[in-house]
Amino acid sequence: MTTQRGDGAPPALELTPMSPQCGDVVARAEHACIGISPFNSYFSTERIRELAVWGLERFARVDFFVPDAPSAFTFEALGYSPERAAWKARRQGQYTRNKIRTALTGLGVVEPDDRILGWAELDGNAAFTRLHDRCRELYDGDKGFRGACQEAADWALSGKLPDGSTPSEQQVECAVRYFLAELPLFVDTPAIVGAGASVFCYHQPPDVLRRLYGRELVLHPAPGQGFAVVAPLDTARWN
C-alpha cells in the first residue's frame, strides 16, 4: 500500500506488511516504531524527516528506535577495540539523535526526546529487559534459534567486509549481540512502550524476520506486534 503526503505531493513511501497479521496491526494505526540505524547512510536528515512526516500522519503515536550503544558490538566484530567501538557508537548515536530531534522539532512535536528509544531509554525498561533476557536464554539454549540469529549477524557483517570476504565464527558471535539487542523490538514493542499494538518499520530487514513473523522460530511475536517494510516506491519490495 502507498501513502499520500499531506502536502499534496505524490506518495513518497510504500508500506508492505510482513504478513496478513502484520497488515491487521498496521490497520489499527496505534503506534509505529521506526528503526533508524546510526551507521547507515540511507538515513539522511531528509530521509528521517520524510519518515517522520509519514509516520505522524498515519499513526496515533510514533517512536524512533536508535540502536546506538549496541552498534559497538558490530565494530568489535570488525576488529575495533571495545573502547574505540564504544566511542564510535556513542558519537554516531548522538549525531543520529540530533537528526531525529531536529526533524521532530521542525514538525512541531513537543518534547522530541521522548520519542527516541535508544539504549539509555531501553536499558531501564522492565519489559525490554525481560525480553532481552529471554532472547539471550533462547540463543544459549535453542540450536535453531541460535542459528537464525547468527544468520542475521552474518548478513549484517557481510555488507561491511571487503568483497569476497565472509565473517568468521568469532566475528559472528560478537556481532550477534547487536541483533539480540534489537530483537525485543521485533517481538513485543507494545509491552515496551505501553501500546495496544505497534508496527516496527524498516526499509531492509534480514530474512530471519520473515521466519520470525511466520512463527517458524521458538520465539513468536506478541499478538499486537507487526512489522512492515517502509521505503521509497522504487525500492520498497519484499520478495
Side chain identity at 31, as an amino acid letter? H
User: Is 37's pLDDT higher than 80?
Assistant: yes
Average pLDDT score over the chain:
91
pLDDT in tens, 198-209: 999 999 888 899
Q: Annotated catalytic, 37?
A: yes
Predicted pLDDT at 41 = 86
Considering the candidates 19, 37, 41, 81, report the single residue annotated as catalytic.
37
Query: What local confidence, expressed as pLDDT, does residue 232 receive?
Result: 86
- pLDDT range class, residue 235, cuts 50, 70, 90: low
In 3D space, the residue among 212, 185, 217 whose CA is nearest the CA of residue 199 turns out to be 185
Inform me whether the pLDDT recorded for 8 exceeds 90.
Answer: no
How confident is the model over 159-173, as a mean pLDDT?
A: 84
The model's confidence at residue 138, banded by pLDDT at 50, 70 and 90, is very high
Burial status of residue 96 (CB atoms within 10 A of its CB: 0-12, 13-18, 19 or more): buried
With 0-12 CB in 10 A as exposed, 13-18 as middle and 19+ as buried, what is 173? middle
DSSP string, 1-36: -EE--TTSPPP-EEEEESSHHHHHHHHH-SEEEEE-
Q: What percent of the chain has pLDDT over 70?
A: 92
pTM of the full predicted structure? 0.90
* Residue 3 pLDDT exceeds 80: no
For the four alpha carbons of 23, 234, 178 and 209, in that order, the dihedral sign comes to positive
pLDDT band at 22 (very low <50, low <70, confident <90, very high): very high
The CATH number fitting domain 2-232, selected from 2.30.250.10, 3.40.50.11710, 3.40.190.290, 3.40.190.10: 3.40.50.11710
- The predicted-structure confidence for 74-94, as pLDDT tens digits, reads as follows 999 999 999 999 999 999 999
> What pLDDT, in 10s, does the model give residues 174-217?
999 999 999 999 999 999 999 999 999 999 888 899 999 999 99
pLDDT at 114 over 90: yes
**What integer pLDDT is reported at residue 234 of this predicted model?**
62
* pLDDT value of position 164: 66
Can you tell me the distance from the alpha carbon of 21 to that of 207, in angstroms, rounded to the nearest whole number? 18
Specify the higher pLDDT residue, 31 or 164: 31
User: Measured between alpha carbons, how far is 90 from 105 in angstroms, rounded to an integer?
Assistant: 22
Three-point CA angle 184, 178, 235, nearest 5°: 85
